């Protein structure tokens, strides 16, 4: 047994069974310790502040605050804490919004336990850890001349995305927005992630500000 401190991880996913499985994968190697578990983004931010882990492993779609928003908060308040995204979603808006928000890695839940452990260790060393499918998208983006983080033309929002953003601008929660539009709060989270990706932002406030600039919404 190597006499070193384990890599300290805060794990955030809204499914307890998923968290249990991920914890077991990570801790069975002996050099990684899950110091706290969160069921939503707000709790993840609080636990990172409390425990000051080496890495925060976050899902994207969580109640209250998405992984994108949580990443932005964590990197702003705790720049030394690395963020590793572990999710089922490989959609471009999610990937680039999270990389722009400061995530060091993006791994899909289809990865096996060895890949997950390798990603945690790589991020801990200050390296990037990208799922092969995600890495391919990043390379394609670079080849196209628009690397993540570079200014790009703002893509127009769909009518439904504008509706979601207009309600978000009023301070409504995802649940309230969903009830107003007759959709689930998870669908609302998905729309917000698409909006963040299109507008090249990582939070509601930035999205609303950009939409105001573009003239897509107005504050009543």
The mean of the pLDDT values for the chain is: 84
Q: Could you tell me if 107 and 183 lie in one domain?
A: no
pLDDT confidence band for 148 (50 / 70 / 90): very low
Last residue of some domain: 89, 119, 143? 143
Q: Could you tell me if 14 and 105 lie in one domain?
A: yes
pTM assigned to the model: 0.66
So what's the pLDDT on residue 142? 52
Q: Could you tell me if 125 and 163 lie in one domain?
A: no
Q: Report pLDDT digits (tens) over 30-59.
A: 899 999 999 999 999 999 999 999 999 999
Average pLDDT over residues 196-208: 80
pLDDT confidence band for 141 (50 / 70 / 90): low
Own/partner contacts of 113-122, CB < 8 Å, gap of 24 or more, are 113/25, 113/28, 116/22, 116/25, 116/26, 116/86, 117/25, 117/26, 117/29, 117/32, 119/84, 120/7, 120/9, 120/26, 120/32, 120/55, 120/57, 120/84, 121/7, 121/31, 121/32
Task: Work out the number of other CB atoms within 10 angstroms of the CB of residue 3.
Answer: 4
Q: Which residue has the higher pLDDT, 72 or 138?
A: 72
Q: Could you tell me if 86 and 188 lie in one domain?
A: no
Q: Could you tell me if 188 and 119 lie in one domain?
A: no
Average pLDDT over residues 2-19: 88
Q: Could you tell me if 117 and 208 lie in one domain?
A: no
pLDDT confidence band for 4 (50 / 70 / 90): confident
Q: Could you tell me if 74 and 181 lie in one domain?
A: no
pLDDT > 90: percent of the chain: 40
So what's the pLDDT on residue 139? 61
Total number of domains in the chain: 2
pLDDT confidence band for 143 (50 / 70 / 90): low
149 φψ region: left (φ > 0), alpha (ψ -120 to 50), beta (else): left
Quick check: is 154 in a domain?
Answer: no
Report d(CA 129, CA 122) in Å as an integer.
6
Quick check: is 193 in a domain?
Answer: yes
Quick check: is 153 in a domain?
Answer: no
Domain hosting 25: range is 7-143
Q: Could you tell me if 28 and 131 lie in one domain?
A: yes
């Amino acid at each position: 047994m190597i006499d070193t401190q384990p890599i300290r991880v805060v794990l955030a996913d809204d499914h307890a069974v998923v968290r249990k499985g991920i914890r077991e994968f990570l801790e069975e190697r002996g050099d990684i310790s899950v110091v706290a578990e969160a069921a939503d983004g707000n709790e993840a931010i609080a636990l990172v502040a409390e425990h000051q882990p080496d890495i925060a492993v976050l899902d994207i779609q969580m109640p209250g605050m998405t992984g994108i928003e949580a990443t932005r908060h964590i990197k702003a308040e705790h720049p030394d804490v690395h963020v590793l995204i572990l999710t089922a979603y490989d959609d471009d808006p999610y990937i680039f919004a999270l990389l722009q928000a400061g995530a060091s890695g993006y791994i899909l839940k289809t990865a096996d336990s060895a890949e997950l452990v390798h990603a945690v260790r790589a991020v801990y060393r200050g390296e990037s850890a990208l799922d092969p499918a995600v890495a391919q998208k990043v390379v394609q983006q670079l080849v196209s001349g628009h690397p993540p983080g570079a200014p790009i033309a703002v893509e127009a929002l769909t009518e439904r995305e504008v509706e979601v953003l207009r309600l978000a601008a009023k301070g409504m929660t995802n649940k309230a927005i969903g009830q107003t539009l007759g959709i689930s709060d998870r669908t609302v989270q998905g729309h917000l992630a698409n909006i963040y990706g299109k507008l090249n932002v990582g939070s509601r406030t930035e999205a609303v500000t950009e939409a105001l600039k573009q003239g897509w919404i107005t504050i009543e």
